[in-house]
Amino acid sequence: MNTVGHFINGKMIAEENQTQPVYNPATGEVTKQVALASTKTIDQAIAAAKSAFPKWSKTPPIKRTKIMFKFRELLIENADEICRLIGEEHGKIIHDARGELQRGIENVEYACGAPELLKGEHSRNVGTDIDSWSEFHPLGVVAGITPFNFPVMVPLWMFPMAIVCGNTFVLKPSERDPSAIMFVAKLLQEAGLPNGVFNIVNGDKTSVDAILHHSDIEAVSFVGSTPIAEYIYTTASAQGKRCQALGGAKNHAIVMPDADLDNVVTSLLGAAFGSSGERCMALSVAVAVGDDTADKIIASLKPAIEKLRIGIHSDEDNDFGPVITGAHKSKILGHIQSALDQGAELVIDGSKAAPAGYEEGFFVGPTLIDRVTKKMDSYKAEIFGPVLQVIRVQTMEEAVQLINEHEYGNGTCIYTRDGEAARYFIDNIQVGMVGVNIPLPVPIASQSFGGWKRSLFGDLSIYGPDGVRFFTRRKTITQRWPSAKLREEKQFSMPT
């Protein structure tokens, strides 16, 4: 059986004693093994990155960018293979995988602006014959720890920007679907990136801890669940490292009585069930303002949901595929049962859904639950599956308060035709990414992605302008060349 190893110093390495199975989630079958890196292997990857840093950091940004331009071309040329690998190990349908890859490519394109992005500020004559300016310098060896749900896009949020800023990079991707990003590493090498600048180590918590405690790692970027994000941030910060750790979410959509109901239903279908709900920006709660609004939503959603198709990644007629593992499927089903046990109403039950011929796969069908309350465990938790819950409130103010009280603050949206209501929502909601009649308000590559509250640990969001700041440090220089004709008197007070 094939074993996915590591990519260190430009070479594929599969020298590990400990491995873990990789599944095809549509069939439930083990298709390959992934090597779990030892501390020795982690040290080897970091040493390669450290050795490559001095030369790479001195490489002009425009030369770094030329490699990134070529890398972009190779990603586009090899999109079919990348998406196939994503589908086989994650399970997302090929059209969804294409969307993931395109979002990642957009971040590569933004990173191609490095010569402009890394320009500092300059102030002439801040004092007599004194000039002052700032420069942005790379940090050194930096690391990324990424989740299973976007095995290519999330790494592309991190390492292209880190690399064009002059850093070298060690990536620890999810061990559940490692093959696509390993293929991407070959493309980066083909684009001309020097050996050691980008490295991949596959592994589990042992690998994560080795990265967090290694003295040569200057910064850590993480995307995953909130408990792990908090652990990553706390541990990395205690080691004196810069850290951004993006956590979980419970994204709400407020539906006002005046909303375009057809638009609401179409939006909710894709935002709640796309990618099997395994998105940190998935809309998992519809907050209906008024019982009449809720009844109309349920009546329209029910027949639409019943038409959705689940199945294998290679059939583009399918709307979404399986969830990542059997254990995750059991967790989702537990949340559904918990909601029912605590008094919610099951409108559509997806717990027993499985396409013909794939009964052993990790499938959960689209599930709709009504009359959920904020006290229910299923509401408090990030289900991370194809489950849409409906909460009924009587006023918009009540809906906003409900969202603001939740521990997560990643994404949210409102459906309305009322500009005043939209403005009130934007001004008062305590969430990092906000949509108005847009279900998944994921910022474009030239903005930055990040939530509030327990959805983000750290001061800087990921990618965009915050990505530049995260992977660089500012140096400010103040300079004067004194004239032979002009000598300063001694000065003991603060210079002004």
Residues assigned a catalytic role: 280
- What is the three-state SS of the chain? CCEECEEECCEEECCCCCEEEEEECCCCEEEEEEECCCHHHHHHHHHHHHHHHHHHHHCCHHHHHHHHHHHHHHHHHCHHHHHHHHHHHHCCCHHHHHHHHHHHHHHHHHHCCHHHHCCCCEEEEEECCEEEEEEEEECCEEEEECCCCCCCHHHHHHHHHHHHCCCEEEEECCCCCCHHHHHHHHHHHHCCCCCCCEEECCCCHHHHHHHHHCCCEEEEEEECCHHHHHHHHHHHHHCCCEEEEECCCCEEEEECCCCCHHHHHHHHHHHHHHHHHCCCCCEEEEEEECHHHHHHHHHHHHHHHHCCCECCCCCCCCCECCCCCHHHHHHHHHHHHHHHHCCCEEEECCCCCCCCCCCCCCCCCCEEEECCCCCCHHHHCCCCCCEEEEEEECCHHHHHHHHHHCCEECEEEEECCCHHHHHHHHHHCCCCEEEECCCCCCCCCCCCECCEECCEECCCCECHHHHHHHCEEEEEEEEECCCCCCCCCCCCCCCC
Angle at 81 between CA 78 and CA 87, to 5 degrees: 135
